[in-house]
Structure 1
């Protein structure tokens, strides 16, 4: 920021002096070109770091992510007695025995295809929204104020989450349907699923559950980024010499727990809405978002809204931690490469 400010001052001063010093034109143009190159490098670095971080964390935690999805959708086509017998160990054993060990990564290819652009847009949009919010009058002069910083991180994270989810939603829906398949294989891959959904349910079928997604992902990413940034700031202010990797991993894990706990019921409803009509099955929920909430609460109770929260915790602690750690590490590495090139 300081470097950009200095360049801006030089350009502004140079523009006023062009008539009296024509020789400055070439120098100013060169500085302007250099500034554009630096900005472009920064953008590419952020997109690359965000994409790789998201793909790596999702691949590492794919088995737990699939268990979470299977638990979340059990209430759609299962009776209460079956639900009471469900456990992480039993479900994991069933997958290994009936589908094989590789089935724990079922749908992971589309997960990576979704996560690369999703995480890239998410982290990049967050950095952009954060800079824009910091320029707002009243916040610009209060950057050292924790409440102002928290507001910037929360709002910026929420806007980034909504932006990235909207852009990549069809891939998220396809990933859910592939991961939710057990013994009966209806969708044979990404392109077959895409073609089948459009053919049977129309283009809008690719956006089933988008309302619940945006309602959930905004607060989820907002909480995740704000908790992460706040914890990291407090940690580094008290222990500035601790490893950046350790700080990012720990703060990222804690932020993941906070965001998952707060928004898990919305995520569960989102998954079930995404599976409406999948594989030719009849619709289960004929009402909107709040009607679906009410139906789950009446038939399954409060526990039904948090079905699958345990494997979600097992997944989110390493997953979000790895994501933030990888992102921060790659940003530093790519910044060093850009500086030396």
Structure 2
């Protein structure tokens, strides 16, 4: 599409060189099926590399992710005195002593099962929404205006994130409940969790906290994109000879920290709403999304909205590095194998 757009813009040059344009077009026609196949294989390589990179990153950072979840849900059934004694190292020691080292990876299987379809749906939906949005007046000239191009990417990314999150949300809920289990085991695995939730809470129970998730998807992508692009362009302007890998790694980590800081309260509320009624426990929040925010601030203070933010920060930096490294390695390997075929 980009090549075709550039040809269209260069109409004056083509008019002056009509014979050359005709010859080039004639030479291109036989190659189009092969080019389309290469583009298709390239898209599949990106899709597979992205999915595997996400799964590897989630597995490596699973201990920090579980600590984040445990801190986020502490305020649901704990008093203020207990919350003041909580610390990341004390909680990690408790997990090792009471549940064993393997407990750090509780719910990781369902995380991987969630990540692969989530990445696939996001990739497909993003391209689909971009094509649809290009029909909107103003966005159809996104190649000519930077603001229109940014708007197209933000809207496409936000809609793709909302679509993927909605479809794969039950797996995200199951992952939270498995990771939040400590000494009392309510759910024995993915299938048992799904069956138990449907039996005890109905099908709607699989979508508890979806509203907070959808509210957080758009801002998260927008903040990540804006922060990453701003930091990267500023860095490259002042230090143009630095390694692109280093620039992407640092700017990606900082953008992840920025987006996590802004959207963390929504993520915390989502986790708590996901655990409502788990294992037959009494409901804590009965007033919806905004009522849950008010309840947390009233009972735990404003700091309660950021309970678990420290392990989240520790998770962001290595997570981005692992994703970037794995993605590039797999993409190179898959591209090389495609070229030899």
Quickly name the TM-score band, shorter chain normalised.
Answer: 0.7 to 0.9
After superposition, the Cα gap between the structure-2 partners of 1:291 and 1:274, relative to the gap in structure 1 and judged at 3 Å, is same
- Cross-structure match for 1:103: 103
- Cross-structure match for 2:177: 177
Counterpart CA distance in 2 for 1:79 and 1:55 is 36
- Cross-structure match for 2:219: 219
Alignment of 1:1-341 (within 5 A): 1=1, 28=29, 30-123=30-123, 125-126=125-126, 129=129, 136-143=139-146, 147-236=147-236, 238-341=238-341
Counterpart CA distance in 2 for 1:128 and 1:38 is 19
- Answer yes or no: is the 8 Å Cα contact 1:153–1:226 preserved in 2: no
- Answer yes or no: is the 8 Å Cα contact 1:161–1:218 preserved in 2: yes
Counterpart CA distance in 1 for 2:336 and 2:317 is 29
After superposition, the Cα gap between the structure-2 partners of 1:154 and 1:235, relative to the gap in structure 1 and judged at 3 Å, is farther
After superposition, the Cα gap between the structure-2 partners of 1:165 and 1:264, relative to the gap in structure 1 and judged at 3 Å, is same
Counterpart CA distance in 2 for 1:330 and 1:243 is 20
Query: What stretches of structure 2 of length at least 5 have no aligned partner?
Result: 10-24
- Answer yes or no: is the 8 Å Cα contact 1:4–1:35 preserved in 2: no
The offset of 1:4, in angstroms, is 5.8
SS in 2 for 1:276: coil
Counterpart CA distance in 2 for 1:78 and 1:70 is 12
After superposition, the Cα gap between the structure-2 partners of 1:34 and 1:294, relative to the gap in structure 1 and judged at 3 Å, is same
- Summarize deviations over 1:107-147 as a string: whole Å, max 9, x none: 1111111112223333554466557657823432124xxx5
After superposition, the Cα gap between the structure-2 partners of 1:254 and 1:107, relative to the gap in structure 1 and judged at 3 Å, is same
- Answer yes or no: is the 8 Å Cα contact 1:228–1:251 preserved in 2: yes
* Length, aligned pairs only: 325
After superposition, the Cα gap between the structure-2 partners of 1:141 and 1:5, relative to the gap in structure 1 and judged at 3 Å, is closer
Counterpart CA distance in 2 for 1:333 and 1:239 is 30
- Answer yes or no: is the 8 Å Cα contact 1:154–1:223 preserved in 2: no
After superposition, the Cα gap between the structure-2 partners of 1:194 and 1:103, relative to the gap in structure 1 and judged at 3 Å, is same
After superposition, the Cα gap between the structure-2 partners of 1:244 and 1:120, relative to the gap in structure 1 and judged at 3 Å, is farther
- Answer yes or no: is the 8 Å Cα contact 1:73–1:271 preserved in 2: yes
The offset of 1:85, in angstroms, is 0.6
After superposition, the Cα gap between the structure-2 partners of 1:170 and 1:117, relative to the gap in structure 1 and judged at 3 Å, is same
SS in 2 for 1:285: coil
Query: What stretches of structure 1 of length at least 5 have no aligned partner?
Result: 10-23
The offset of 1:301, in angstroms, is 0.9
Counterpart CA distance in 2 for 1:168 and 1:186 is 22
- Cross-structure match for 2:20: none
* TM-score, structure 1 normalization: 0.85
- Summarize deviations over 1:35-77 as a string: whole Å, max 9, x none: 3312321221221122012111111111010000000000100
- Cross-structure match for 2:15: none
RMSD: 3.0
- Answer yes or no: is the 8 Å Cα contact 1:46–1:124 preserved in 2: no
